[in-house]
Amino acid sequence: MLSTRQVRVYATEMSEPELQTNPIPCTVLGGGSFGTCLAILLAEKNYAVDLWARDAKVAEAINRHHRNPRYLTEYRLPDNIRATSDLETALRGKEVVLSVMPSASVREIWQRGKDSLEPGSLVISASKGIEVGSGMLISEVLKSILPEETHERLVFLSGPSFAREIAESRPTAASIACDNETYAIAAQTILSSPHFRCYTNTDVVGVELGGALKNVIAIAVGICDGMNLGLNSRAAVITRGLAEITRLGAILGANPLTFLGLSGMGDLVLTCTGDLSRNRNLGLEIGRGLKIKDALAGLTQVAEGVITTKSAYELAQRHSVDMPITEEIYRVLYEEKDYRSAVHDLLNRQLRSEHE
């Protein structure tokens, strides 16, 4: 397994060709779009990759046809990706584990898999969300489950990155955050490629919050776009959304500058404006008049913003943080407030300084 010394070697001494000729065993937990694209990314760097999917039929189809039958179906998966639905098989003997699952599944899956995680493994989480009820970030959930000796090797990946564009080798940049910068650098080296560029960060809270809360704002922007309120309103919601994300982040100990970076403004702009954004598209349907239950029923993939809205609202209430956009989206999604009334109430709030 990866010792501290070995991590430094990977991060500072091994060139790209050496990594390609001396691959380390990796696994990706999560057979959705993002898990699949990250498995492709690793496989193209010639790592041996296990891809864990909850559904045994999906794993079998991947191994037989070298395609994911549900997500990114048009992309052939490299031969060095092996799928499995057995969690112990996926984790045993792996030095690098990418945890890429919906935030609501993180606790359940890692409770099952924690005893199979090899000592010294580097765990890279790409789940974006806040746990409902506890208000925990994914980093806090993982630390509550995994042994303490693994905590310094928990790394968090976030940033403006649609899975489809990564699979197509389109240029992408992302943040890699870890309390221990040595392991952030290790993960940076393992994941980075000519088309996927990672930047290190030690602000885990800020990187996680930016990745989670932007989904809430994207629903709001989608509603405005669905109502044809114009580009001015889109820019206003994005900007004021960033302000309330930063307010909550500061209370929780994040560095405000993080929210100006890839996992903050970068991911926010992409998710609020990109046609591939599930959260924006959900908002679009609501803003066009579709009932909430029908809009949710039409989703083919998880829109993390729905769950995160509830968690973010509860966190804001707990810490007395003013998050008006988040509050209105919560009332639309969970209290059946009319979306037009939500927009009206936002526009008619008491006037104040921009820096409040």
Give catalytic residue positions: 214
How far from each other are the two terminal CA atoms of the chain, in whole angstroms?
49
Is-contact 282 304, C-beta < 8 A? Answer: no
**302 phi, psi to nearest 5 deg:** -70, 130
Q: Is the dihedral of CA 97, 190, 278, 334 positive or negative?
A: positive
Do residues 282 and 295 touch, judged by C-beta distance below 8 A?
yes
Contact assessment for residue 248 and residue 212, using Cβ atoms and an 8 Å cutoff: no
Per 3-state DSSP, what percentage of the chain is helix, strand, and coil (rounded to 5)? 55, 10, 35
- The token duo for 172 is 């992408």
Q: Which of 209, 201, 50, 45 is nearest to 121 (CA)?
A: 50
Question: Strand 122-125 to strand 96-99: parallel, antiparallel, or no bridges (unpaired)?
Answer: parallel
CA-CA-CA-CA torsion for 196, 263, 300, 135, nearest 10 degrees?
A: 140
Phi, psi torsion values for 79, nearest 5 degrees: -65, -25
Bridge partners for 83 per DSSP: 51
Number of residues that make up the chain: 356
- Residue 309 contacts residue 219 (beta carbons within 8 Å): yes
**Residue of 127, 159, 188 lying closest to 261 (CA atoms):** 159
Output DSSP code: residue 58.
Answer: H
Strand-strand pairing, 81-84 and 154-158: unpaired
